[in-house]
Amino acid sequence: MALRSFLAIHSFSEGWSVGGNIMYYTYLLKLSNGDYYAGSSEDLRNRIKDHQEGKNISTKPFRPVKLVYYCAFNTKTQAIKFEMYLKSGSGKAFRNKHLA
């Protein structure tokens, strides 16, 4: 199944888990100025809501924001590492080629 198809079928929700384990998310937002913002959170739904309501100083001036990608990880460390990768030069190239 293609990634975009998977994302279209499966929605995220607070407390979503696999095998009883809490999942941690890395997400990618498209900002109103055309730039992208990468972040991570345990509660994706509320985190996106916070961005949309202007509660994040980095994205507040660039609302509305649009969720264009997210993925789930078993650990917070994995989610943060992927977030940091997406913010790197090679991660931005990967984002532009595969995610955006």
Q: Under CATH, what is the fold of the domain 15-92?
A: GIY-YIG endonuclease (3.40.1440)
| 53 pLDDT more than 70 | yes
| Cα end-to-end span (Å), the chain | 18
Determine contact, residues 74/23, Cβ cutoff 8 Å. Answer: yes
DSSP state of 41: E
Q: Are strands 21-22 and 24-30 parallel, antiparallel or unpaired?
A: unpaired
Domain ranges of the chain: 15-92
Tell me which of 12-16, 56-60, 90-94 is least confident: 12-16
Q: pLDDT higher for 75 or 17?
A: 75
Work out the average pLDDT over 59-64. Answer: 97
d(CA 61, CA 87): 19
- pTM recorded for the entire structure: 0.81
What are the tens digits of pLDDT across the range 8-37?
434 444 445 556 678 999 999 999 999 999
- Our CA angle for 31, 55, 38, nearest 5°, is 40
